Amino acid sequence: MNTGKQHITELVDYLLAVKQPDEMEKVLRSLLTPTEFTEVTKRLQIFKMLEQGVPQRQIADTLGVGIATVTRGSRALKGE
């Protein structure tokens, strides 16, 4: 297993071991900078809003992100 893949596997296993929401928040806040944490939460909201059919421009305006960020999220949902 290459190092990159091994590190990803270890991260996933570490996160899966966390069972409580408050503990997961603590783990994420310890792993990510405050900016990264905020960006991850916004990306999840982008996914949810796209799945609900909210127009991309509206998502960008609502969340205060660029349209390119929303488009990237749309591509990710489509598996591109």
Helix (H, G, I), strand (E, B) or coil at 27: helix
What is the identity of the amino acid at 5? K
Per-residue confidence (pLDDT) for residue 79, from 0 to 100: 87
In angstroms, what is the C-alpha Rg of the chain? 15
Nearest Cα to Cα of residue 31 among 56, 57, 11, 9: 11
Helical spans, DSSP H, in 1-80? 3-16, 21-31, 34-51, 56-63, 67-78
pLDDT in tens, 38-57: 999 999 999 999 999 999 99
Whether the model pTM is above 0.95: no
User: Please, are residues 70 and 60 in contact by the beta-carbon 8 Å criterion?
Assistant: yes
The answer on pLDDT for 7 being more than 90 is yes
